[in-house]
């Protein structure tokens, strides 16, 4: 397992760059990871989704799917795609310090 330092904090990541320990995450890290994903600024609606995903993962143990996010956070699928373009479930999971969503098998 690799580690990397983001905003002065050393965190564990997998080979696709997903953090593997959600407890190592903080909001500064989210801002930095968002930039790497091409999102220059995190708006209140971005945070609404991130907060929802953190909570959802804390109870279920896994990053939520798009459908879980839209039905639970009140953000429409269309808006979710404009907030986190191309693969929102994966992008949010990465920025929120959660593992890669299992989605389907």
Catalytic residues: 104
Phi, psi for residue 56 in degrees, rounded to 5: -60, -45
Angle CA(12)–CA(54)–CA(21) in degrees, nearest 5?
Answer: 15
> Binding residue for another protein (CB under 8 A) from 19, 49, 66, 92?
66
Check residue 1 for interaction with another protein (CB under 8 A).
no
Q: How many other C-beta atoms lie within 10 A of the C-beta of residue 80? A: 20
Q: How far is the CB of 35 from another protein (least distance, A)?
A: 20
Element (DSSP H or E) covering residue 10: strand 9-13
Check residue 34 for interaction with another protein (CB under 8 A).
no
Residues of this chain that bind another protein (CB under 8 A): 62, 65-68, 71, 77-78, 80-81, 85-87, 90, 102-105
């Amino acid at each position: 397992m690799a580690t990397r330092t983001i905003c002065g904090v050393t965190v564990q990541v997998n080979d696709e760059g997903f953090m593997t320990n959600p407890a190592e995450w903080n909001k500064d890290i989210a801002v930095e990871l968002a930039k790497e994903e091409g999102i220059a600024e995190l708006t209140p609606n971005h945070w609404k989704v991130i907060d929802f995903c953190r909570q959802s993962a804390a109870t279920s143990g896994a990053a939520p799917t798009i459908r879980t996010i839209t039905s639970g956070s009140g953000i429409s699928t269309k808006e979710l795609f404009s907030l986190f373009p191309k693969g929102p479930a994966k992008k949010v999971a990465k920025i929120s310090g959660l593992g890669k969503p299992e989605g389907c098998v």
